[in-house]
Chain A
Amino acid sequence: MNFSIYDFTEFIRSIHFWLTGIFSPGLADVIGLAIIGVCFLLFVTLLGLSLVYVERKVAAFFQQRLGPMRVGFWGTAQTVADIIKLIFKEPLVTKNSDKFLFNLAAFIVLIAPFMVIGAVPFAKGLHALDFDIGLFYITAVSSIGVTGILLAGWSSNNKYSLIGAMRSGAQIVSYELSVVLSLITIVVLTGSLQLSEIVASQSDGWWIFKGNIPAIIAFIIFIVASTAESNRGPFDLAEAESELTAGFHTEYSGIRFAFFFLAEYVNFFIIAAVGATVFFGGWMPLHIGNIEFFNNAMDVIPPVIWFFGKVVVLLFLIMWFKWTFPRLRIDQLLTLEWKYLLPISIVNILLMSLVALNGWHL
């Protein structure tokens, strides 16, 4: 087994050979899939735990507080303690709620991020699903989550939940458009929807730098629209604790509530991951043109670190939004999308096509 932190292709292949050596090819595939599934399960759980901790700490620092400090060193075990508490908490189901859908909704919201996270390229070769329509797959699948939110709101038999769910529905349907259009703006340049190719196309510089002004506009639209799509502040109308108590998950408690919470944070990660992949070169180190010396120096840092570093920066940016801005109202939310983001992104695609045709980008 030749393990390299810079290129996982060989490592993954050798695991595959090892498995086929022991088992029959069919069984080896199944076991391989199971291993990947377990890996993602662990990754998502760890991600949820750490992101909740990071979010709480970041929020605290924005607010001149210290945040969790008691459980573990600097409160690092706080989220673990919270999860343990949530597991032992009684999962209440309200009377007259649709019990089947009520239970189902919590799982549906988790399914979407699990399906998407498989298509995220973490490093060279560390990529579970590399479709030729990868970007399309991500945008299509990530909107399944809203079904869970709608079901949760509907089945809770609570008016606040229902209002929250309806808001969420309207919100995600609208903002999906801008997210896709802003991603397509970059696809115009790459000419491919395959995520590995999008990353490879940025080997001489990231699209946000190479793509001229339209790329920057597209990035701003992407970050705004995807924040809205993931129901995060200032677009957290579906939860809106000061208006709807807790919106669609008002009636959820215990482990089901933890599912909603986890899904929210995994979605949050996915946004940052997609943003980093499309606009900031994914795991690709910072390369400037053909300056060998600089590029080689940058290559020393492993791709996984590049990827997670970019993701963390984007996550921080989105957290910064959340802990600064007041929440929008539902009609303003839709105005922002249909009056500002959508027309601008359509014009932006035109601009980008001009740029691509005339070769004005780098």
Chain B
Amino acid sequence: MFKSIYKYLTDIFNGARTLLTGMKVTGYYFFHPKEIITQQYPENRDTLKMFDMFRGEVVLIHDENNEHKCTGCSACELACPNGTIEIISDKAIDPETGKSKKVIDTFVYHLQMCTMCNLCILACPTDAIKMAQTFEHAVFDRSELTKVLNRPGSKIMAGIKE
């Protein structure tokens, strides 16, 4: 009889104690607003820096002379699991040797199909493409996601061979 009453009361007190332990944890954070971890995103855009490794989108590297390293070998197109990259190549006459040579006409990149798997970057023999750290990809029209990566008038850097 007394044992059961004792158990009844200890149950209540132990239960209340565990509840208070939980309240202590949440209460600590309530009264320590310094611990708040929210980052206010659009406001902190200037200070927000992504890690260098972050994979945001594929870009074709152009230097200041508007030259890139892409030979149009289609290695990235083959490596891509999703058909994200389409390279439309053209034949051009090499001014030095006078021979016909493959050059890229348009480097089409379908961002909407890209899973950022990085396989194209690994496949590229000339390191012509890289992953950019941009992440704000939202657009109003889906067609804007299909990008042409080679800039208008750009040409291949001298000395880059397949």
Q: A and B: direct contact (Cβ < 8 Å)? A: yes
Q: Which of B23-31, B63-71, B78-86 contacts A (4 or more CB under 8 A)?
A: B23-31
Q: Which of A55-63, A245-253, A267-275, A348-356 contacts B (4 or more CB under 8 A)?
A: A55-63
Q: How many angstroms between the C-alpha atoms of A168 and B22 in the bound complex?
A: 26
Known contacts A62-B30, A63-B29: A324-B23 contact under CB 8 Å: yes
* Interface 1/0 per residue, A291-326 and B, CB below 8 Å: 000000000000000000000000000001101110
Q: Is the CB of A61 within 8 A of B30?
A: yes
Which B residues lie within 8 Å of A321 (CB)? 23
Partner of B40, one of A69, A320, A324: A69
Q: Is the CB of A324 within 8 A of B29?
A: no
Give the residue name and chain of the A residue nearest to B23 (CB).
A324
Q: Please report which residues of chain A, range 53-79, place their CB below 8 angstroms from some CB of chain B when the two chains form the complex.
A: 58, 61-66, 69
A131, CB-defined interface residue at 8 Å: no
Give the residue name and chain of the A residue nearest to B31 (CB).
A61
Give the residue name and chain of the B residue nearest to A58 (CB).
B30
Q: Is the CB of A64 within 8 A of B29?
A: yes
B35, CB-defined interface residue at 8 Å: yes
Q: Is the CB of A324 within 8 A of B38?
A: no
A340, CB-defined interface residue at 8 Å: yes
Q: Is the CB of B19 within 8 A of A325?
A: yes
Q: Is the CB of A323 within 8 A of B12?
A: no
Q: Is the CB of B26 within 8 A of A65?
A: no
Count class of interface residues, chain B: 10 to 19
Q: How many angstroms between the C-alpha atoms of A64 and B27 in the bound complex?
A: 11
Main secondary structure of the interface of A (DSSP, over half): loop
Which B residues lie within 8 Å of A63 (CB)? 29
Partner of A66, one of B29, B30, B36: B36
* Interface 1/0 per residue, B1-25 and A, CB below 8 Å: 0000000000010000001001101
Partner of A324, one of B22, B33, B35, B37: B22
Q: How many angstroms between the C-alpha atoms of A58 and B26 in the bound complex?
A: 11
Q: Is the CB of B27 within 8 A of A61?
A: no
Which A residues lie within 8 Å of B26 (CB)? 62, 320, 323-324
Q: Is the CB of A64 within 8 A of B37?
A: yes
Which A residues lie within 8 Å of B22 (CB)? 324-325
User: Closest Cβ of chain A: how far from B14's Cβ, in Å?
Assistant: 13
Q: How many angstroms between the C-alpha atoms of A69 and B26 in the bound complex?
A: 21
Q: Is the CB of B35 within 8 A of A64?
A: yes
Q: How many angstroms between the C-alpha atoms of A340 and B38 in the bound complex?
A: 41
Q: Please report which residues of chain B, range 91-106, place their CB below 8 angstroms from some CB of chain A when the two chains form the complex.
A: none
Which B residues lie within 8 Å of A58 (CB)? 30
Q: How many angstroms between the C-alpha atoms of A324 and B26 in the bound complex?
A: 6
Known contacts A66-B36, A69-B40: A61-B23 contact under CB 8 Å: no
Q: Is the CB of A61 within 8 A of B19?
A: no
User: Closest Cβ of chain B: how far from A98's Cβ, in Å?
Assistant: 40
Q: Which residues from chain B sit less than 8 Å from chain A, CB to CB?
A: 12, 19, 22-23, 25-27, 29-30, 33, 35-38, 40
A62-B26, A62-B27 known, 9 other contacts, Cβ within 8 Å: A61-B33, A62-B29, A64-B36, A65-B36, A66-B36, A320-B30, A324-B19, A324-B22, A324-B23
Closest 7 CB pairs of A and B: A66-B38, A324-B26, A62-B26, A324-B22, A61-B30, A62-B30, A65-B38
